[in-house]
Chains A and B, each alone.
Chain A
Amino acid sequence: MAQQLRPSKPADKQPKIDWSRRQEAENFAETVKLFRQGKVDPDTFRRFRLQHGAYGTRMTDDYAMVRIKVPAGQVYPYQLEKIAQLSEMYSIGSAHFSTRENIQLHWVILEDVSEIMQSLSDVGMTSREACGNTVRNVMCSPLSGVCKDEIFDATPYALAIARFMLRNPICQGLPRKFKFNFTCCEKHGMIRIVDVGLLPQIQEIDGEQRKGFKIFLGGGLGNKSFIGHQLEDFTPVEDLLYTSMAVIRIFDRLGDRKNMARNRMRYLVNDMGWEKFRNLVLKERAIVKSTQSVIVKLNIDESINEIQRPISVSNESASVPDGFARWQKTNVEKQSQGGFNSVFIGLESGDITANQLRSVAEIIRDYSAEGFARNGFSQNIVIRYVHDDDLKSMYSKLLETGLAKTGSLTMASAVGCSGTTSCNLALTNSHRLAKEVQRKFLELKLDEDDDLKDSTIKISGCPNSCGQHEVATIGFYGGGGRYENDMFPNYTMSLGGRFDEGSILGHHTARVPVKRVIPVILKIIELYKENKQSDDTLSRWIDRIIHGNESSKINSVEDIKKEINSFLIPPKVEDEPDFYMDYGSDTSYHTVTGKGECAA
């Protein structure tokens, strides 16, 4: 009876923008054929493939990784269901959520990529310009629109920029890739480590409240990383497009097209010097403004998303499910809208099975009053507009499908790039290591520790920073170590990285053998506990050490080094053979790499 009283579910919300272009799939299939017949040379084909979002795979030309763009991270239930199906048909039965709000399908046979593109068109999605020297997926904080600290919702602007740039001739052949990040506030976005980072601002001009942004330029992580510079005090929204175009035009004109290792815009900014670059941008903007026709403008859709609680699923007689309090504490963020919450679904290194994707789709339909989800910045999914009264029921649903891992908003949710699971450049299995770290943290219930809440762990499988290790409180990048005649995976550890208003790159501290990474992290936590002040956090403690402001027994990076030194000495191979093997491998370690195309 009760079942019948429930209102039926509303129809799926439809996205406002169709990003696809159907004929691209057929064109891709044809070009693959020509490439296989030797009628398209490998370099031309590679550029074409990347432009269409198909990235190379470790040690083979037979497979590709398809990176599906999710502009501003907005993804709809039926799109997730389609991706679930595609992962079973053409990939490994799991999909991967990246750090840049993309969804990736790995180990796809190159000849099948066009079938995926075709199916993505059915649900309005695209992989176009997800790789290659283009404007990559335009990101927006998963909390934009619901964050308590935001000035206004940047989402419509992120979507408008994404729409303007996609397939636009001005960014089809840039010197290197180009990234936009929009945020809600300093804490939830990563605006200082991308080419263009944007923070909403409101300024009173002539007695009128004007929307605009603080724009940061020339940041980025990689083999050499830089923190972005603020262009000017305030950029009104009317100048958003002109400024973006001006920056892209300068990069296109002056960026390095020869030296692959130094051709991101941050190198141009660094070589030229910020002041000179800044003046160029301002001058270029004036030119763009005065020479563009009136039809060149952003199409900003500020229509309000309908908020409608789908069904009343609360059941007052239901008991509190086990683990609910811990989950709520570490995975749920209160929204600025009273009574509503944003629920973070943590995934191990961003991986999710096809069946879990289907459950997420169903849970969005059942619990989100906005009817879609947002991809997060840390290989996770955020379901927003969940009513207070529905949290327990939603938690039970998540538990059933293994999606209720705690600690999503804490240090426990370690980020790991794809590493040797699929990437040509990787030296170590960073992907698996991040999973191991997360499992250990949850086992020890460290996700519940408030002192660790604002810290992060991020792991890359090589120096190229796809795992964003340089902005982590404790970051690692992979390499090879050697003891006598034997090699072992060896991670360089950096401490004190931040991506908020105090953005700073981590301080290289020590080289840590892979099987000692977890013990070293735990040792650092132990040192912190012994030396912390009242009301302290691990990240603040490390921050003081890095800046020379700590006065306890451990007051320099050197002191930390001394304390962890005993972990860093390799044992003899016969004493501990496991030390010489990477996670996920039962043979002795050796490094193998191929040609890189840069992934995240």
Chain B
Amino acid sequence: MNNSSMSIIDSKILREKIKDNSIRIVDVRREQDYQLGHITNAVNLPLAKLLADDSVESIQKIAQDLGISDETSVVIYDDTFGALSSRVVWALQYIGHKDAKLLDVTFSQWKALGYEISTEVPEIESATHSIKENKDIMATAEYLEKVKENKNVIIIDNRERLNYLEQHIPGAINIPYRTLATDGKILRTKEGMKNLLKNRGISEDAEIITYCGSVGTLSGLAYYALKSVGLPNVKLYVHSFKEWKSLEKPIDKQENANYWDLSAE
């Protein structure tokens, strides 16, 4: 399947294919949560395991250990509005995997729908996965700094509004991750997403770089959302704002206003 028209897996459809061995379902929650019950046939990949080592070799090994070959259709879910699982999708795509998708609901929503869950851990037969490093979907601080003034480049900060107002990468616009979701689904409809982009004046041929607070989860969801409506050139700044700050790169803020005092937190 083509990355540029990546879509999301309807929970009703997954339900029908749950026993289909050509699909690998991956649960991106902590191991203890997984053990208490997961979507039938799902295997577990706690995000921490993926984040522990960034290298393509490590991602490759994880994929292979989970029985994911180049041809396997992978469906990924979590219980964190899709942010963790979209980070996993991105990692798989980074080593060249073509068919990794998000489930359209979280585990809690799946459960609330009354769909099948199980505590049984499926047998995994390891597979072979190649590495075709997909550098087009990755942005580093160095790269970001080099291109950020380009007219065609749009940097999107996916943190919450108050964090963005307080500090952000100069020139970045803000689309809080909550904006990407809708009632009962981790992503809004394609039409809704396109409308948001249209209102914001984001053209479909722009080069987009998403970032969030630290490891590219919230911005991973944005990466996925943008890809899923067909935007061809979207990159994830994986190490995000935490790294940007530690490198002492320039930071912008909204001056002369005490917006934090409007929060009831």
Once the chains are docked, how many angstroms separate the CA of A377 from the CA of B112?
Answer: 39
Once the chains are docked, how many angstroms separate the CA of A355 from the CA of B17?
Answer: 36
Whether A188 sits at the interface, judged by CB under 8 Å, is no
**A110 — nearest CB in chain B belongs to which residue?**
B199
Whether A502 sits at the interface, judged by CB under 8 Å, is no
Whether A419 sits at the interface, judged by CB under 8 Å, is yes
Which of A84-92, A196-204, A209-217, A257-265 is near enough to bind chain B? A84-92
Interface residues of A in 335-360 (CB under 8 A from B): 347-348, 351-353, 356
Contact partner, B257, options A85, A353, A420, Cβ 8 Å: A420
**A59 — nearest CB in chain B belongs to which residue?**
B256
Once the chains are docked, how many angstroms separate the CA of A115 from the CA of B256?
Answer: 27
Q: Please encode chain B, from 189 to 203, with 1 for each CB lying within 8 Å of some chain A CB and 0 for all others.
A: 000000110011100
Which of B2-10, B72-80, B160-168 is near enough to bind chain A? B160-168
Once the chains are docked, how many angstroms separate the CA of A495 from the CA of B245?
Answer: 49
Contacts of A106 in B (CB 8 A): 259, 262
Once the chains are docked, how many angstroms separate the CA of A88 from the CA of B179?
Answer: 8
Q: In the complex, what's the smallest C-beta–C-beta distance from A140 to chain B, in angstroms?
A: 25
Contacts of B263 in A (CB 8 A): 92-94, 351, 353
The total of chain B residues at the interface (CB under 8 A) is: 27
Q: Are B261 and A107 neighbours in the complex by a CB distance under 8 Å?
A: no
Contacts of A352 in B (CB 8 A): 264
Whether B258 sits at the interface, judged by CB under 8 Å, is yes
Once the chains are docked, how many angstroms separate the CA of A435 from the CA of B260?
Answer: 13
Q: Please encode chain A, from 281 to 295, with 1 for each CB lying within 8 Å of some chain B CB and 0 for all others.
A: 000000000000000
Size category of the A interface is: 35 or more
Q: Please encode chain A, from 422 to 458, with 1 for each CB lying within 8 Å of some chain B CB and 0 for all others.
A: 1000000101100100000000000000000000000
Interface residues of B in 28-69 (CB under 8 A from A): none
Q: Are A432 and B264 neighbours in the complex by a CB distance under 8 Å?
A: no
Q: Are A93 and B160 neighbours in the complex by a CB distance under 8 Å?
A: yes
Q: Are B259 and A422 neighbours in the complex by a CB distance under 8 Å?
A: yes
Q: Please encode chain A, from 52 to 92, with 1 for each CB lying within 8 Å of some chain B CB and 0 for all others.
A: 00000111100000000000000000000000010011111
Contacts of A115 in B (CB 8 A): 195-196, 199
Whether A109 sits at the interface, judged by CB under 8 Å, is yes
Once the chains are docked, how many angstroms separate the CA of A583 from the CA of B258?
Answer: 9
Q: Are B265 and A58 neighbours in the complex by a CB distance under 8 Å?
A: no
Once the chains are docked, how many angstroms separate the CA of A348 from the CA of B200?
Answer: 33
Once the chains are docked, how many angstroms separate the CA of A418 from the CA of B179?
Answer: 25
Q: Are B265 and A353 neighbours in the complex by a CB distance under 8 Å?
A: yes
Contact partner, B199, options A58, A96, A114, A356, Cβ 8 Å: A114
Contact partner, A93, options B162, B183, B201, Cβ 8 Å: B162
**A431 — nearest CB in chain B belongs to which residue?**
B261
Contact partner, A33, options B176, B201, B256, B261, Cβ 8 Å: B201
Once the chains are docked, how many angstroms separate the CA of A107 from the CA of B178?
Answer: 15
- By a beta-carbon cutoff of 8 Å, the part of chain A in contact with chain B is 29, 32-33, 36, 57-60, 85, 88-94, 96, 106-107, 109, 111-112, 114-115, 347-348, 351-353, 356, 418-422, 429, 431-432, 435, 582-585, 592
Complex A-B: 5 CB contacts under 8 Å: A32-B199, A88-B178, A93-B161, A107-B165, A114-B199
